[in-house]
Amino acid sequence: MEGMAGQKSTLTWAVNLAALFLVVLWTIPTAGLFVSSFRDRDQIAATGWWKSLTSSEQTDFVRTGNAEDQKQDGAVYVLEGNVLTEGQKLVGWGTSARNPAAYKGGESADVDGAKLTVDEDGAYRMESATPFTMKRGERIFVTTASPPKFTLANYGRVLGAEGIGRAFMNTMTVTIPATIIPILIAAFAAYALAWMEFPGRALLTAVVVGLLVVPLQVALIPLLRLHNDLGIGKGYLGIWLAHTGFGLPLAIYLLRNYMAGLPREVIESARVDGATEFQIFRKIILPLSFPALASFAIFQFLWVWNDLLVATVFLGNTREQLVMTGVLRELMGSKGGEWEILATSAFISISVPLIVFFAMQKYLVRGLLAGSVKGG
Amino acid sequence: MELLLLAVGTIAVGVLGCMAWFWGSNFVLDQLLPPRGPKAGDNIRRAGLIRPWLFLGPAILFLGVYLVYPVLNSIWLSMFNGSSTEYVGGSNYAWLAQDAKFRESMINNFFWLLIVPALATLFGLIAAQLTDRIRWGNFGKSLIFMPMAISFVGAGVIWKFIYEYREPGTEQIGLLNAIWQSLGGTAQTWLTLQPVNNFFLMIVLVWIQTGFAMVILSAALRGIPEETIEAAVLDGASPWQIFFKIKVPQILGTIAVVWTTITITVLKVFDIVFVMTNGQWGTQVLANLMYDWMFRGTPDYGRGSAIAIVLMILVLPIMIWNIRNVRREMR
């Protein structure tokens, strides 16, 4: 008995550890972005985000003053200054790029006949028996350590100046109508497919299921031409219509499955009582179907918010029209080096879906299950 | 600000318009064929024939214009030249057959189809099995499921931070290179390293889709009748045997559903390749190739449509399988 109990707890441990490993593995990429978005721009480029809690070392060079800055101090000519900026600590310094930490603070080195000393606190003093004549200062290479630094400045900068604020509004403008309108249209259609008898019902249901998997790519060229011919062109109206069309098959399918599962007696007795189909739909079906409506609303919201392809094709690429995914794409192309902007913009763009996701997870899971397990 | 007004206005117009249509058309129908009076029975029957189409009308209009028409129109356009002015028959398809980029895309798509659904389903199955047995399982599930909510573009940025490259020997800020270097490797530009760069792109999609597989498989695992497992335990089966010989065979149907759903997603994969490599360094896929022909330089609608139709044909078997399943269920 004891042996078995021991085995069991080992197994529990193994399961817990394995699960922890998987969860950490799946969370780390997002965590990296989250941490990076709060880091100082120089530190992002200098060390990995996982080192953000330790101080980071950086190498840079500082120029001394030139001939004009020199002072005479007794028999020697002197240049003085400081190589550190606020918050930095000196790790080492040097006179060539090849060895930027050759000397410690307080040590001296020989530079073209002059004696250069850099102190712990970053103050340097260059002495020479003859006057300095150089037009540009000597370079002092310094290796510095900066303490970990977290900042909200990235968010301020991105929201204010980088067009993300505008893109955020654009995305909202695209997403909200494109989420609500298909629900309404689909709800009526789903009711007809689930509870009304008419010839062609089975065929229509099959068509809806078939349209579920049509690749969007097929629709792009014809619809773009159609929109141009109709005079809709590129704009919000076009993208709302497009998202409504693309979202409908899933909406009808999910809602039909759900409505078909509602108790027959409720609807039959309402019909017997003389309620019109419109009344039945509005007073009985719609309130009862709330979970399914919520499921689809989340799907459609996430899908429209996260979409890049439809937005690029139907909305255009001017700065006034870009949605957030479009801005992110541009940032990745043109500002690959500006990590803090990229990380912060990306985090802003994924924060809304993440909030919706965590707040409404129950409905999302329910919708997924209704959409695949039952219907398959 | 005026944007918000525009959005709110649109919602109002859209919602009110829809309500007006549904309510109004029903009202008109009831006036024309009143369910009372001498011909009540006749009227109810006739109204019953018309009413479903009032409910279905807007949906059919949208589905027709935004999905059915484009498919047919694409087939038509794929037989015309780039500016759709001249009929060229099957020559766009003949061109595809010999185009090196198209061949590369087909091969890459094939490997995407092979690897992504397999890995996502496998990891999803493992995650479902593990998280179902621990106390903090639901919390763990949420975190593995989370990437589902992240856009492909956002995921691209997230993984760019992982694949980032710095000169070998210097401080690496990309996680993968940092680990690789600490294990004694030389830092690599992973996204240009053919042919494994394709694999690094696939990992992004696996990361996103695993949560989906996990959620559905977890529900299926919980639906397995307790008795079958208890019987196996009594017979002295090990946990491994229970999992692979008792549980997995019982959820094969669900695994197939998960697999095909991810397959569809994979076929349409566009954003990840578009933002991370844009099809360079041997990573082109069909969806991105099509975008190239549609929007880069002078648009070539003929070739773009031909590629879209190839995508459509690849999806067709799954579409038919889905329809057959649903029809069987409805009966």
| Tens digits of residue pLDDT in A124-145 | 888 888 887 777 877 888 887 7
Contact B309 A218 (CB under 8 A): yes
Q: Provide the pLDDT for residue A376.
A: 31
Residue B25 lies in a domain: yes
Question: Three-state DSSP class for B75?
Answer: helix
Pair B153, B249 in one domain: yes
- Reading phi first (left if > 0) and then psi (alpha if -120 to 50, else beta), residue B186 is in beta
The SS3 assignment for A375 reads coil
CA distance A345 to A179: 23
- Is the Cβ pair A350, B270 closer than 8 Å? no
Q: Are strands A123-128 and A114-118 parallel, antiparallel or unpaired?
A: antiparallel
Average pLDDT estimate for A154-183: 82
Return the number of other C-beta atoms located less than 10 Å from residue B188's C-beta: 19
The pLDDT of residue A195 is above 70: yes
Q: What is the DSSP letter of B80?
A: B
Nearest Cβ partner for A177 among B7, B148, B154 = B7
Per-residue model confidence as pLDDT tens digits over B51-90: 888 888 889 999 999 999 999 998 888 888 877 777 888 8
Chain B residues in contact with A44 by the CB 8 A cut-off are 173
Task: Tell me whether residues A23 and B134 touch, CB distance under 8 A.
Answer: no
Asked whether residue B144 is domain-assigned, the answer is yes
Are B239 and B149 in the same domain? yes
CA distance B96 to B290: 11
Length reported for chain B: 331
Selected residue with higher pLDDT from A245 and A6: A245
Single residue among B15, B46, B77 that ends a domain in this structure: B77
Domain hosting residue B31, numbered range: 2-77
**pLDDT at residue B44 is higher than 50:** yes
How many CA atoms within 13 Å lie on the side-chain side of B34? 4
Q: Report in angstroms the alpha-carbon separations of B223 from A376, B87, B95, B217, B234.
A: 16, 56, 51, 10, 20
State pLDDT tens for residues B107-135: 999 999 999 999 999 999 999 888 888 88
Residue B305 with chain A: CB contacts under 8 Å: 221
Task: List the one residue out of B138, B149, B147, B144 whose CA is nearest residue B124.
Answer: B144
- Counting one residue from chain A and one from chain B, the pairs whose CB atoms sit within 8 A come to 344
3-state SS, residue A125: strand
- What is the rounded average pLDDT of the residues B201-224? 89
Same domain as B228, residue B182: yes
**pLDDT for position B240:** 83
CATH value at residue B321: 1.10.3720.10
- Cβ of residue A316 closer than 8 Å to a chain B Cβ: no
Model pLDDT, residue B116: 92
- Length, in residues, of chain A: 376
**CA-to-CA distance for A205 and A253, rounded, in angstroms?**
8
Same-domain pairing of B249 and B320:
yes
| Burial label, A10 (beta-carbon count in 10 A; 0-12, 13-18, 19+) | exposed
Q: Which residue from B131, B171, B304 is facing A47, i.e. has the nearest CB?
A: B171
d(Cα A134, Cα A113) in Å, to the nearest integer?
Answer: 13
Among A residues 282-311, those touching chain B with beta carbons less than 8 Å apart? 302, 305-309
Question: How many CB atoms within 10 Å of residue B247?
Answer: 19
3-state secondary structure of A359: helix
> Does pLDDT of B290 surpass 50?
yes
The mean per-residue pLDDT over the stretch A209-225 comes to: 87
Longest dimension (CA), chain B: 94
Tokens of B161: 């931070």
* Predicted confidence (pLDDT) at residue A6 exceeds the cutoff of 80: no
Residue B60 is predicted with a pLDDT of: 92
Phi and psi, residue B46, nearest 5°: -70, -40
Structural domain includes residue B214:
yes
A242 to chain B, any CB pair closer than 8 A? The answer is yes
Residue whose C-alpha is closest to residue A29's, from B24, B192, B156: B156
Residue A281 has pLDDT above 70, yes or no: yes
Residue with tokens 């399961």: A15
Q: Residue B73: closest CA among chain A residues belongs to which residue? A: A222
The CA distance from A50 to A55, in Å, is 11
- Using the 3D structure, point to which of B77, B112, B132 is the last residue of a domain: B77
Q: Say how many C-beta atoms besides its own lie within 10 A of residue A104's C-beta.
A: 12
Contacts of B180 in chain A (CB under 8 A): none
Q: State the nearest Cα–Cα gap between A281 and chain B, in angstroms.
A: 10
CB nearest to B151's CB, from A23, A206, A325: A325
The residue with tokens 């120029």 is A63
Same-domain status, B272 and B171: yes
A95 CA: distance to closest CA in chain B (Å) = 20
Nearest chain B residue to A375, by CA: B326
Q: What's the rounded mean pLDDT across residues B198-208? A: 92
- Interchain contact A4–B (C-beta under 8 A): no
Pairwise CB contact (< 8 Å): B142 & A16: no
Of B73, B155, B330, the CB nearest to A202: B330
Classify residue A39 by its DSSP letter: B
Let me know whether B192 and B44 are in one domain.
no
**Residues on chain A touching B275 (C-beta within 8 angstroms):** 308, 328-329, 332
Quote the DSSP letter at residue B327: H
Q: Which of B325, B286, B284, B278 is nearest to B303 (CA)?
A: B286
pLDDT of A288 over the 60 cut: yes
Identity of the residue numbered A363:
Y
Is the CB of A211 less than 8 angstroms away from the CB of B67? yes
Instruction: State how far the alpha carbon of A265 is from the alpha carbons of A269, B4, B190, in Å.
Output: 6, 44, 61
pLDDT at B300 over 80: yes
Domain boundary, last residue among B47, B77, B107 = B77
DSSP, res A249: H
Is the residue at B110 inside a domain?
yes
- Please name the amino acid found at residue A366: R
Inter-chain residue contact A325 with B207, CB threshold 8 Å: no
- Note if the bond before B34 is cis, omega within 30 degrees: no
Residues in B touching A212 (Cβ below 8 Å): 319, 322
Sheet strands side by side (includes A108-111)? A71-73, A76-82, A123-128, A114-118, A108-111
What's the CA angle centered on B229, arms B227 and B235, to 5 degrees?
Answer: 100
CB contact under 8 A, B59 and A354: no
Q: Could you tell me if B116 and B236 lie in one domain?
A: yes
Q: Which chain A residues are within 8 Å of B18, Cβ to Cβ?
A: 181, 184-185, 188
Q: Note whether A226 contacts B65, CB cutoff 8 Å.
A: yes
**Range picked from A52-56, A150-154, A290-294 for highest mean pLDDT:** A290-294
CA distance B322 to A76: 90
Strand partners, A94: A141
pLDDT of residue A164: 80
- ipTM reported for the complex surpasses 0.90: no
- Alpha-carbon distance of B312 to B45, in angstroms, equals 41
> Residues near B291 by Cβ (< 8 Å), separated by ≥ 6?
A217, A309, B270, B274
User: pLDDT at position A1, please?
Assistant: 38
CB B289 within 8 A of CB B102: yes
Report in angstroms the alpha-carbon separations of A268 from A197, A258, A274, B50, B259: 13, 17, 10, 20, 39
Mean predicted confidence (pLDDT) in A332-360 = 82
Chain A residues within an 8 Å CB radius of B134: 12, 15-16, 19
Cα-to-chain-centroid distance, residue B62: 21
CA atoms within 13 A on the CB side of A138: 26
> How many Å apart are CA B301 and CA B292, to the nearest integer?
11
Residue with tokens 């990745």: A332
Residue A120 distance to chain B (closest CA, Å): 25
Binary contact (A47, B173; C-beta < 8 A)? yes
Q: Is residue B276 located within the same domain as residue B175?
A: yes
Residues 122-181 of A with CB under 8 A from B: 169-170, 172-173, 176-177, 180-181
Counted domains in chain B: 2
Percent of chain B with pLDDT over 90: 13
pLDDT at A336: 54
Cβ B215–A213 below 8 Å, yes or no? no
Contacts of B48 (CB under 8 A, 6+ apart): A196, A197, A198
Q: Judge whether B83 lies within some domain.
A: no
Chain B residue numbers with beta carbons less than 8 Å from the beta carbon of A180 are: 11, 14-15
Angle, helices A236-260/B2-32, rounded to nearest 10 degrees = 50
A75 CB within 8 Å of a chain B CB: no
Helix (H, G, I), strand (E, B) or coil at B298: coil
Asked whether the beta carbons of residue A222 and residue B77 sit closer than 8 angstroms, the reply is yes
Task: Tell me whether residue B94 is in a domain.
Answer: no
Same domain, B47 and B140: no
Cβ–Cβ under 8 Å, residues A123 and A84: no
Q: Say if B82 falls within a structural domain.
A: no
C-alpha–C-alpha distance, residues A101 and A118, integer Å: 12
Chain A residue with minimal CA distance to B163? A29
Query: How confident is the model over A229-248, as pLDDT tens digits?
Result: 888 778 888 888 899 999 89
CA distance A255 to chain B (A): 13
Whether residues B142 and B105 share a domain: the answer is yes
Q: How far apart are CA A120 and CA A92, in angstroms?
A: 9
Flag if A307 and B151 touch (Cβ within 8 Å): yes
| Average predicted confidence (pLDDT) for chain B | 85
Nearest-CB residue to B22 (from A19, A188, A193): A188
Q: What is the predicted pLDDT for the residue at B120?
A: 93
Q: Would you call A129 exposed, middle or buried from its count of C-beta atoms within 10 A (0-12, 13-18, 19+)? A: exposed
Q: Report the chain A residue with the minimal C-alpha distance to residue B274.
A: A329
Query: Nearest CB to A375: which of B30, B123, B326?
Result: B326
Can you read off the two tokens belonging to residue A213?
Answer: 């998997």
When pLDDT is cut at 50, 70 and 90, the band that residue A3 belongs to is very low
Give the residue with greater pLDDT, B37 vs B232: B232
Q: What's at B3, amino acid-wise? A: L
Name, in order, each residue with C-beta under 8 angstroms of B197's C-beta and a sequence gap of 6 or more: B190, B191, B277, B281, B282, B283
**Which pLDDT belongs to residue B221?**
87
Q: Do the beta carbons of residue A299 and residue A326 sit within 8 Å?
A: no
B227 found inside a domain: yes
Out of B146, B153, B211, name the one closest to residue A325 (CB): B153
CA distance A234 to A89: 55
Nearest alpha carbon to residue A29 among B171, B155, B151, B124: B155
- The dihedral formed by the CA atoms of B160, B161, B164 and B170, expressed in degrees to the nearest 10: 180
Average pLDDT over residues A345-361: 88
Q: For chain B, give the percent of residues with pLDDT over 70.
A: 99
Same domain assignment for residues B273 and B139? yes
- For residues B12 and B158, membership in a common domain is answered with no
pLDDT(B195) > 70: yes
Residues linked to residue A80 through DSSP beta bridges, in sequence order = A125
